[in-house]
Chain A
């Protein structure tokens, strides 16, 4: 059973461009979380999605950032008109859901490191 997959692992964008980060959850997992890690800091929650629904986006910046988790395919974190302050590592985690012990235990992907030049 493959773990959480994220691609690309490294992404370089110029200021003003768009960044699209992809996350494929573990097989059988229907819940996805996105976190951002700025240099020398811990991870900060951004958004929690279930298939086709955004459940909690309290950590998402109000502008330029959006996330989706379609019925088919990976979850996408999209950053429009990137600025230098968006440079960070973006981690995705997935959990199985469905109730019971372990339903919300999160398994992390390797992250996407975004550099804005």
Chain B
């Protein structure tokens, strides 16, 4: 059974810092790994999706990596800004699952201080 864990649960950094959010999954048989952003009381915004055959994806100041063999993904945020403050969720889509449902971690709550 796939389980997804995110560390740390919360993170507070000063503006301008580069930071890394971690995501680990127990079963390497995944279809893809996706990172989302969730603002308080809001829905989910997809940030980056990494297919199982890929090692990383980049979008602006965001870079996500995937290492299936170690069951890990990281989200790197460069030059953080107060507007980056949100909860970041990672989700794995199990490979041998006909419903293609997403298995989510509990999230990392990020606060970027001005």
* Chain A residues, Cβ within 8 Å of B60: none
Do A109 and B43 touch across chains, with their CB atoms under 8 A apart? yes
The chain B residue with its CB closest to the CB of A45 is: B101
* Chain B residues, Cβ within 8 Å of A110: 42-43
- Chain A count of residues within 8 A CB distance of the other chain: 25
Residue in A42, A45, A56 whose CB lies within 8 Å of B98: A56
- Chain B count of residues within 8 A CB distance of the other chain: 23
A42-B105, A43-B89, A104-B93 are known contacts. Are A48 and B43 too (CB-CB below 8 A)?
Answer: no
Q: Does A25 contact B (CB under 8 A)?
A: no
A105-B49, A110-B42 are known contacts. Are A56 and B101 too (CB-CB below 8 A)?
Answer: yes
A91-B43, A91-B44, A108-B44 are known contacts. Are A43 and B98 too (CB-CB below 8 A)?
Answer: no
Cα distance A54–B108 in the bound complex, in angstroms: 32
Cα distance A106–B101 in the bound complex, in angstroms: 9
Against B, the Cβ 8 Å flags (1 = close, 0 = not) of A23-54 are: 00000000001010000111111001000000
* Chain A residues, Cβ within 8 Å of B105: 42
A42-B89, A43-B89 are known contacts. Are A55 and B42 too (CB-CB below 8 A)?
Answer: no
> How far apart are A15's CB and chain B's nearest CB, in angstroms?
23
* Chain B residues, Cβ within 8 Å of A42: 4, 6, 89, 91, 104-107
Do A111 and B43 touch across chains, with their CB atoms under 8 A apart? yes
A97-117 interface with B by 8 A CB criterion? 104-111, 113
Q: Which of A95, A106, A107, A111 has the most CB of B within 10 A?
A: A106
Do B43 and A45 touch across chains, with their CB atoms under 8 A apart? no
Do B41 and A113 touch across chains, with their CB atoms under 8 A apart? yes
Cα distance A33–B46 in the bound complex, in angstroms: 16
Q: Does B99 contact A (CB under 8 A)?
A: yes
Cα distance A97–B107 in the bound complex, in angstroms: 28
* Chain A residues, Cβ within 8 Å of B43: 91, 108-111
Name A's B-contacting residues (CB within 8 A). 33, 35, 40-45, 48, 55-56, 58-59, 91, 93, 95, 104-111, 113
